[in-house]
Amino acid sequence: MSVFTKVTSEQLSGWLSRYPLGTLVELKGIASGIENTNYFVTTTSGRYVLTLFERLSEAELPFYLNLMAHLAGHAIPCPAPIADCDRALLGHLNGKPATLVTCLPGRPVMAPAAHHCMLIGAALARLHAAGQSYGARQDNPRGPHWWQETAPRVIPFLDEPRQALLQSELDAQLAAPAMARREALPSGPVHADLFRDNALWEGADGQEKLGGIIDFYFAGVDALLFDVAVTVNDWCVLPDGGLDAARCAVLLDAYGRERSFTADERAAWPLMLRAAALRFWLSRLYDFYLPRPGELTHAHDPEHFRRVLEQRRAGVPALV
């Protein structure tokens, strides 16, 4: 990401007067992510994360903020939104909707071992279980409807083989029987973006504990299996886009010990892995070819998820 909306210390100090958090000590931009403006905010009472929302509408935001509050209240290690003196979780800063959340401990691990995959699989299953009692509903914003809207915008930038791959996979996803049953699969709130950089770890190498799961701003209600596929496609990926069978088995086993997969989910698994790869190939194509101006721009390479998609189309291990 990037800092799309500039905030000065003076502006933030005035805004913080609405919160019982003391006075501002430090404001620092966060150069990660691609959707929102994020800052680390240190006050005399602690450290927080300030987010200014660049794309999400004010009407959409209560779903995300209340979901995080709900999950945090159910012992899921995720950021908890901070209420202001009027008990509001959402405010406005420099013309943008804005919120403060707790800053979780730890750092990302970008080369995960089996230990990390086991813990993230179990945590994702517990997140899904806790989300079942969350009453609000908002569809996955990057689901099949978004794919159909976005593909025509990026296809003109692609060469013929990539155009053919994208169109072929869209057709397969939208026409296949497994896709038609997507709404019948076990569903609920999903993180939908649980990549390695959205998990924080504490402790020494090889003995880390999960400090928290962050960045819920792609969350929505969808098939729980889609969330598992998104996670596997990042945590268990090899440099060529293939799957590391050992890490994949550990992650899925840890998840399954918390929530058993259904027969329909097992049948849908190969196509769901492809759906997860397609979603991120499309979003990276969009961000690469149709970027917004930003102060600290950072666009991920679309080719990574093209390779992932091609590997998933070639075949995947069965979900057992």
| Whether residue 270 is found in the same domain as residue 183 | yes
Domain boundary among 43, 67, 102: 102
* Buried b or exposed e, range 177-203, using 16+ CB within 10 angstroms: ebbeebeebebbbbbbbbbbbbbbbee
Has residue 251 got a pLDDT over 60? yes
| Whether residue 57 is found in the same domain as residue 141 | no
Please choose, from the candidates 311, 138, 125, 150, the residue with its C-alpha nearest in 3D space to the C-alpha of residue 231: 125
Confidence of residue 1 (pLDDT cuts 50, 70, 90): very low
Has residue 296 got a pLDDT over 80? no
Domain harbouring 81, CATH code: 3.30.200.20
Average pLDDT over every residue of 230-245: 97
| Whether residue 250 is found in the same domain as residue 220 | yes
For position 204, what pLDDT does the model report?
83
Has residue 295 got a pLDDT over 90? no
Q: How many domains does the chain have?
A: 2
| Whether residue 165 is found in the same domain as residue 287 | yes
Q: How many CB atoms lie within 10 A of CB 90?
A: 18
Choose the weakest-confidence range: 14-18, 73-77, 173-177: 173-177
- Tell me, yes or no, whether 289 lies in a domain: yes
Q: pLDDT tens digit string along 216-233?
A: 999 999 999 999 999 999
Domain boundary among 53, 73, 102: 102
Please state, in angstroms and as integers, the Cα–Cα distance from residue 260 to each residue in 191, 206, 314, following that order.
Answer: 19, 28, 26
Range of the domain at 225: 114-314
- Report d(CA 173, CA 246) in Å as an integer: 27
- Tell me, yes or no, whether 109 lies in a domain: no
For position 273, what pLDDT does the model report?
97
| Whether residue 142 is found in the same domain as residue 223 | yes
For position 175, what pLDDT does the model report?
87
For position 293, what pLDDT does the model report?
66
pTM metric for this prediction:
0.94
Domain harbouring 196, CATH code: 3.90.1200.10
For position 145, what pLDDT does the model report?
94
